[in-house]
Structure 1
Amino acid sequence: MGKALVIGAGGVAAVAIHKCVQNSEVFEEICIASRTKSKCDELKAKLDGGKTKITTAQVDANNVEELIALINEVKPDIVMNLALPYQDLTIMDACLATKTNYMDTANYEPEDTAKFEYKWQWDYRERFEQAGITALLGSGFDPGVTGVFSAYALKHYFDEIEYIDILDCNGGDHGYPFATNFNPEINIREVSANGRYWENGEWIETKPMEIKRTYDFAEVGEKDMYLLYHEELESLAQNIPGLKRIRFFMTFGQSYLMHLKALENVGMTSIEPIEYEGKQIIPLQFLKAVLPDPASLGPRTVGKTNIGCIFKGKKDGQDKTYYVYNICDHQECYKEVGSQAISYTTGVPAMIGAAMVMTGKWNKPGVYNVEEFNPDPFMEELNKWGLPWVEDFNPVLVDTLPEDTKKPELVR
């Protein structure tokens, strides 16, 4: 069917590459490229021998000319950007220059500002349209599957969706007092920022961790969850007509929050450079270097994740509620692909999104978020490739839960 160039060789990339190899009918060839070629070679050594032909390359994803040269050499049908969000724009520039389809799992954020939004990537819309190529943004789980869930709910169960709550629960335990399940730098920037949600056409800002609820998650149990800002809120607020409010909640344990508060208090989560022994260092990048690598958590993480969306709206004039979610087992993921469920739940949809573009099911020139395409084939693929979904037509709504006033003091 075709060839993909995968940029990145971390935890999410490893899962996506495993899945590309399993889906060899679509991915006949893949080239794995990263700044550290030895990581790419390790993945190739693990996965060689199947029907998918695997090659590797070294590339600096911050360097547009290097990227262009590699794309021209490999001639892929799609570039799968599984590197860092800081590199989205250079990779998009290289795809434009070579007229190659593009996909990623997270929106662009500048390295020197703790801010992520779609504006920078949406600015490429006309150029991708004129070049006749597709850019698929945010094909991970959240963003990604949560957007597909929203499009599916609207298509099949609602005339209009008024309220969406996205609930991201990780019930896993890795045994460390403090570690992050994905890139520590991105994770800590996300969690320590102010919360935001969209209501009645405007953004409402909250202090970090200010809004807390306790939710009883299927197969995980009761967990404390906190309102955060997450990028899919921005695109779904635009792409789901008639929406009155959309929020995002993520679960955190007390140990994680205590450690994060202490690290914030001593300045270790700062992205402002400081001078140390004549060198400029960024505290958060130093912290990332001393924390456990998320890719190393797989063998020691037990428990499950439960991520999904609760919808409230109208169908045939009647009030309707609907909850669709996926449950993923950390140990099962590790047995299958050598990775914990956080990487798995992002890597599988990355492969599916790329396959949607490569097979022409999701293929129109321009820059799009996942919810702008037909959700049905993607939903089918989720069941096929390891992320089966569950439906609940009478869910407990977040607004019916008592407000929790014992909030951690996680304010800068």
Structure 2
Amino acid sequence: MSKVLVIGAGGVSSVCVHKMAFNPGIFSEIHLASRTKAKCDAIAESVKARCGVDVATYAIDAEDVPALTALIEQIGPKLVVNLALPYQDLTIMEACLNAGVDYLDTANYEPKDVAKFEYKWQWDLHDRFKERGLMALLGSGFDPGVTSVFAMWLKKHKLKTIRQLDILDCNGGDHGQAFATNFNPEINIREVTANARHWENGQFVETPPLSKKVAFDFDAVGPKNMYMMYHEELESLARFIPELERGRFWMTFGDAYINHLTVLKNVGMIGIEPIEYQGQQIVPLQFLAAVLPKPETLGATTKGKTNIGDIATGEALDGAGEKTFYIYQICDHEDAYAETGNQAISYTTGVPAMIGAAMMLTGAWAGEGVFNMEQMDPDPFMDMLNKHGLPWQVKELPAPVDF
């Protein structure tokens, strides 16, 4: 029996739980917990209506390790899927260690008081998971997640080495709002406003946020401005592709988004240090997140497509010198909403979370310790992407990218 506990009740969780319910042969029981049980209940009701599957729901504070440990022990899952906030990764991992259960997440740990996300804290738990005979899989979303698997698939099937790697994340969707983020506003804005970092010649090079902009013509979306920024998969890719000379991450933003973000930054609304207001301590960014539209409410009005993928250049496996390949996935917002009631940004993260869980539960991916996606065989994961709503394509480019 493959019983699973999902923690978190946002849009990504909704997609993941729906997709789990569509695959009862792998996920025999689904349990869902979050700080707000009503959010879990809403997802469970949708899953019941769409899939005919019952989902048990619970209220839990994911930062309360003893309470979370007790809940895990009460349910007895084979796997805990962490789809809560990155702030809670370490407490959930600790509870899994206490309860003796495998762990999966989609984003690496980020302290609340420092806008810095990196794998160090989770990698440091490798020996403890190994000693307990447990597996922890990090970053099983799209980026990170699928983008890392894309790179390793290219390295297995097309390229002997990867010298240059660019990850391109394009959201061509329009939700009709003046300003809204497509995933958790607090995490999104902290990422976008942080200094950009890219890997070059054995070290990370830091540049001001949103200071490098280039245009790119995306299939099924069209020309978009994309900005170089830091994203956590660069850290693991640089570690697991030792020959990598340059690795960069790019994300598209419209002018209206950039203008709104600039104003919010200038007036102090994206600060993460508490301020006192009418006798209460308030974090400006958390207040902003509370008043912005919730990402899970955007699905009904979002139209358009996403296009996310890797462009990799390196020595070809066929001995024909250096080649460049572009591997990517296009997802339609309206199709994602029709299937799960969520827009494509949630869909493209929630589906890989389900697939990563399936890899672990079926034994296709196994190990003892803490692992990143790059360390696993890409083929079974890539096969499931094609079968479960995220078909991908690959093409050879005539020359390396020049931007």
Q: TM-score range by the shorter chain?
A: over 0.9
Conserved? CA contact 2:47–2:54, under 8 Å:
no
The within-5 A match list for 1:13-412 is 13-48=13-48, 50=51, 52-315=53-316, 316=319, 318-394=321-397, 397-399=400-402, 401=403
Measured in 2, the distance between the counterparts of 1:241 and 1:198 equals 11
SS of structure 2 residue aligned to 1:300: coil
| Amino acid across the alignment from 1:366 | G
Distance 1:365 1:229 in 2: 29
Moved more, 188-197 or 316-325: 316-325
The C-alpha deviation readout for 1:319-366, integer Å capped at 9, x for no partner, is 111110000000111111110000000000000000100101111001
Q: After superposition, what is the alpha-carbon deviation per residue over 1:24-83, rounded to whole angstroms, capped at 9, x for unaligned? A: 100010100011111111222222275754211111001000110000000001000000
1:338 maps to amino acid: G
- Cα offsets for 1:80-130 (capped at 9, x unmatched): 000000000000001111110000000000011100000000000001011
Contact 2:336 2:342 in 1 (8 A): yes
Structure 2 SS opposite 1:150: helix
What is the TM-score normalised by the length of structure 2? 0.98
1:335/1:245 CA distance change after superposition, 3 Å: same
Query: Does structure 2 conserve the Cα–Cα contact (< 8 Å) formed by 1:199 and 1:244?
Result: yes
* 325 and 148 in structure 1: CA distance in 2 versus 1, 3 angstrom threshold: same
Distance 1:40 1:202 in 2: 43
Task: Return 201-210 or 387-396, whichever deviates more.
Answer: 387-396
C-alpha contact (below 8 Å) 1:8/1:82 kept by paired residues: yes
CA contact (8 A) 1:27 1:52 kept: no
Q: Secondary structure at the match of 1:321?
A: strand
Match of 1:2 in 2: 2
Partners in 1 of 2:148 and 2:340 — Cα distance? 25
- 8 Å CA contact retained: 1:28, 1:51: no
**255-264 or 48-57: which moved more?**
48-57
Instruction: Check whether the contact 1:179–1:292 (CA below 8 A) recurs between aligned residues.
Output: yes
Q: Does the 8 Å contact 2:164/2:312 carry over to 1?
A: yes
The structural deviation recorded for 1:395 is: 6.1
Cα displacement (A) at 1:398: 3.5
Q: Residue 44 of structure 2 contacts residue 54 of structure 2 at CA under 8 Å; is this kept in 1?
A: no
Distance 2:358 2:202 in 1: 34
**d(CA) in 2 for partners of 1:279 and 1:123?**
36
Structure 1 CA distance for aligned equivalents of residues 116 and 365 of structure 2: 29
SS in 1 for 2:170: strand
For the aligned residue pairs, the C-alpha RMSD in angstroms reads 1.1
Contact 1:28/1:52 (CA < 8 Å) preserved in 2? no
1:48 aligns to what SS in structure 2?
helix
Question: Is the CA contact 1:28–1:53 (under 8 Å) kept in the aligned structure 2?
Answer: no
Following the alignment from structure 1 to structure 2, what is the Cα–Cα distance between the partners of residues 100 and 46? 28
Paired with 2:384 and 2:257, the residues of 1 have a C-alpha distance of 34
**Deviation for aligned residue 1:171:** 0.4
Task: State the alpha-carbon separation in 1 of the partners of residues 68 and 97 from structure 2.
Answer: 11
What is the rounded CA distance, in whole Å, between the counterparts of 1:19 and 1:388 in structure 2?
15
In 1, Cα distance between equivalents of 2:68 and 2:43: 20
Identity %: 60
CA–CA separation in structure 1 for the residues paired with 2:60 and 2:399: 48
Distance 1:269 1:310 in 2: 32
1:178 is displaced (CA, Å) by 0.7
**Any conservation in 2 of the 1:163–1:244 contact (CA below 8 Å)?**
yes
- Which runs of 5 or more structure 2 residues have no equivalent in the other structure? none
Task: Name stretches of at least 5 consecutive residues in structure 1 with no aligned partner.
Answer: 402-412
Deviation at 1:317?
5.9
Query: Does the 8 Å contact 1:303/1:330 carry over to 2?
Result: yes
Q: Do the aligned residues in 2 keep the contact of 1:24 with 1:51 (CA within 8 Å)?
A: no
Partners in 1 of 2:251 and 2:156 — Cα distance? 26
Q: 1:272 to 1:255 in 2, by over 3 A?
A: same
Secondary structure at 2:353 match in 1: helix
Amino acid at match of 1:104: D
Contact 1:7-1:82 at 8 Å conserved across structures: yes
Note closer, same or farther for the CA distance 1:325–1:351 as it changes in structure 2 (3 Å cut): same
Contact 2:61/2:67 (<8 A) preserved: yes
Distance 1:176 1:148 in 2: 33
Letter in 1 for 2:40: C
**What is the distance in 1 between the residues matched to 2:100 and 2:152?**
28
Query: Which AA in structure 2 matches 1:355?
Result: A
